[in-house]
Amino acid sequence: MPSVARWIDFFLSPEFPQGSWAGHLSSFWKWRDRSNVLLLTYEEVKSDLVAAVRRIAIFMGVDLTQDEVNAIVEVSSFSYMKKAKLKFDPGRVVPWGSDAGVMVRRRERGRSGDFLTPAQQQRIDDHCRAELQRLGCDFPYDEAFASRL
């Protein structure tokens, strides 16, 4: 596993196998106002998981019983994901965890400082902003990540 610094170099390079984060975001952000696209933020889902499940079901045209909603909420909950963390483990793809299940950590965002220095965070932010601008994407990066900036 490379060091965090080398992983960041690779993540920000054109050779990153999963592609550019900014390119991925830009590819769906431009379609956000279409009737067949539903975007939910982590904060929306976290604040009211039941409402998020119902919103997704309505969007998909699926009529759920209360028992079905409850079952979906249960397996979508942080506590369930934490208990079943191996189901969500991507393998050794990031250098900041040797423990299986490191991807399900705290149920909060904005904790990149646990693994990255302020300079590394700034480098990623600057790169992502520049890429979004280069792609002509109007995603409000600073607003979306304000709690960390």
Task: Give all domains of the chain, ordered by start, each with its CATH number.
Answer: 4-144 (3.40.50.300)
Task: Give me the pLDDT at residue 83, please.
Answer: 81
Report pLDDT digits (tens) over 7-56: 889 889 998 888 899 999 999 999 999 999 999 988 889 899 999 999 99
Per the listing, tokens 């520049």 go with: 130
Report pLDDT digits (tens) over 71-85: 999 998 888 877 876
Largest Cα separation within the chain, whole Å, is: 49
pTM strictly above 0.85: no
Task: Give me the pLDDT at residue 57, please.
Answer: 97
